[in-house]
Amino acid sequence: MPTRHRALAILALLTGASLGSVLLALAVGSIHIPVGDVFNALFGGEGSLSGDVVAHLRLPRALAGFACGGLLALSGALLQVLLRNPLADPYILGISGGAGVGAILAILLGLGVAGINGASFFGALAAMVVVFGLAHGDGSWTQTRLLLTGVIVAAGCGAMVALILSIAPDHKLHGMLFWLMGDLSQATSPKLVLGVLVAVLFVAMPFARELNLLARGPDMAQALGVQVGSLRRGVYIVASLATAAAVTQAGSIGFIGLIVPHLVRLAVGNDQRLLLPASALAGGSLLVVADTLARSLIAPQQLPVGVLTALIGVPVFLFLLARDSRLRR
Amino acid sequence: MTTPPPLLQTRRLAVSIGQRNFCRDLDLSLHAGERLAILGRNGAGKSTLLSVLAGLRAPQHGEVLLKGAGYTELGPRKSALIRGWLPQSRGDAFASTVLETALVGRHPHLDRWGWESAKDAQIVRRALAAVDLAEFEQRDIQTLSGGERQRLAIATLLAQQPELFLLDEPVAYLDLKHQIAMLELFAGAARDCGAAVAMVLHEPALAWRYCDRVLLVHGDGATECGPVREMLTADKLSALYDYPMLALERDGQLCLIPQ
């Protein structure tokens, strides 16, 4: 029996975990900074080297990472409901493919960070419009059709990325690969993504119970009083924009959007009123922790965080699948 | 005093998919306490007609009115407080407990930020008990048998507490005992709570026993509607199912035997 009380308790717990993950990210790295100094740097301390590292390097990166992780997990949770497919993730409908083509093209043309971000956001929007337009073409709008359209557009984008990679000069390949694997080292302005995360939650939460119904089937949802058509369009647009914002900031970081909603669902159930905010918090924390590992495991060299999330994600997912099928028997 | 408008009314309703016409110029009205059976061959358009009646699909022509108002006028939420719909098939993509699933039926009664209250839980538990699923509350729906899922869908519908029940094969997957139990449940809702019931059935004998009127859907656009005794005759049913039938009546019950 879902209750508001239980939901709030779980969210409070996850908020604590989120703060803990950010604190960890501020303390750990190529130079270790004691927690006491971290607090000093955050609240008043000026001038010291460790203070600068915390305030100008680690904090923006941790917050941007948190926002991206939260957006990806949220978008994954929304798309799993929209497509009624537990295997859906934020990239399944080609958003990251479009963003990838834009970003790689920008890197090939030698544009700066702003240019790359702009191009990848434009690519993501273009993919979103194309998929939506094609899937919506004749007015009928089935999950299968949307899914197939998205998968095909993603495949097309993948081919274009491969084409650009194969003709790109060697010195640009490194940057391109890091972008494709997902990387937070360029993420220095967290305000925008944090704002998008808050806005997406704000827009999605009033519809959370209707999403519960949509997950049980569109006809069922409509019979129980949900305006299915507009809800689906809204979910598609919100989830796509969330993905586009995250991908623009951090490249295509894999597995957060697939794994986190699953983990949360297994832990707290499939009530979207709890699942959506819990996924956002858990996804944010997980990405912050993974990014901390990515920049400290073989410091001073940095790993792309997407590699780490995948390395953590694959075994966790396989474990969950195996456990799930055993429980069913 | 004016009589209240019927719970369900259709005016010159035409339903078709592509080139196939399932019904045309159908005028039907269903008042509180009435029970209608919809019979026809496979693919004759019974389920399509029912989903048009439920407002899930737009008719080709004509209109469907709930208590005198159309679905677009009412909006989905108000409609859901009046009519409930039992789908023929369902698939569950995600794990969920039986209790959570049945609680979904309370959705139209809650406001946007509302959570299910103890009263809602009580209504749902009563509904689960009515379909013999009281012990199943915490079971995962993906472990239920076909018949148990069907009863859970009926419990969800009961939890919705609509005034008009539109049932697509309510006795599918059910064993004999539960077939009778579920039909008794809806007959009781019509008798005691003033609900109206329209159900797609494949067993004319059950229509005879549990309904007042029958709508025969011939599949070529022609429909016939009338009292049970006039519609459920060997001649009409033989024509409907395109197979010779023998009707036997005994102790007020009807038995139909394919020859």
Q: Residue holding tokens 């996850």?
A: A14
Tens-place pLDDT, residues A109-120: 988 888 888 998
* The predicted structure's pLDDT at residue B88: 85
pTM: 0.91
Q: What is the CATH number of the domain that holds A247?
A: 1.10.3470.10
User: Which pLDDT belongs to residue B1?
Assistant: 53
Complex ipTM value: 0.90
Phi-psi region of B59 (alpha: psi -120 to 50; beta: other; left: phi over 0): beta
Q: How far apart are CA A82 and CA A215, in angstroms?
A: 7
Residue A20, CA atoms < 13 Å, CB-side half-sphere? 8
Residues of B with CB below 8 A from A277's CB? none
Using a CB–CB cutoff of 8 Å, tell me whether B18 touches chain A.
no
| Domain limits for position A280 | 4-328
Q: Write out chain A residues lying below 8 Å of B114, CB-based.
A: 209
| Min distance B81 CA to chain A CA atoms (Å) | 8
pLDDT in tens, A231-240: 998 998 999 9
Res. A40: pLDDT tops 90: no
Check whether B218 has a pLDDT greater than 80.
Answer: yes
DSSP letters spanning A73-102: HHHHHHHHHHTT-TT--TTTTSHHHHHHHH
**What pLDDT band is residue A325 in, cutting at 50, 70 and 90?**
low
**Which among A1, A218, A273, A328 is positioned nearest to B97, based on CA atoms?**
A1
**Is B79 in Cβ contact with A3 (below 8 Å)?**
no
- Rounded to 10 deg, the angle between the A4-27 and A59-82 helix axes is 140
User: What's chain A's length in residues?
Assistant: 329
**CATH topology assigned to domain B8-258:** Rossmann fold (3.40.50)
Number of domains in chain A: 1
pLDDT tens digits, A59-108: 999 999 999 999 999 999 999 999 888 888 888 888 888 998 999 999 99
Q: Measured between alpha carbons, how far is residue A290 from residues A11, A28, A311 in Å?
A: 21, 12, 10
Chain A neighbors of B95, CB-CB under 8 A = 265, 270
pLDDT recorded at residue B165: 97
What's chain B's length in residues? 259
CB atoms near residue A318 (< 10 Å): 10
A212 touches chain B (CB under 8 A): yes
Burial of B30 (0-12, 13-18, 19+ CB in 10 A): buried
3-state secondary structure of B200: strand
**Nearest C-alpha of chain A: how many angstroms from B254?**
34
Q: Where are the domains of chain B?
A: 8-258
Confidence of residue A3 (pLDDT cuts 50, 70, 90): confident
- Dihedral (Cα; A98, A104, A110, A115), 10-degree rounding: 30
What is the sign of the dihedral through the CA atoms of A158, A162, A165 and A167?
A: negative
Distances in Å between the Cα of B149 and the Cα atoms of B92, B98, B235 are 10, 9, 36
Kindly list the residues from chain A whose CB atom is less than 8 angstroms away from the CB atom of residue B77: 225
Say if B51 is an interface residue toward chain A (CB within 8 Å).
yes
Inter-chain CB proximity B80 and A271 less than 8 Å: no
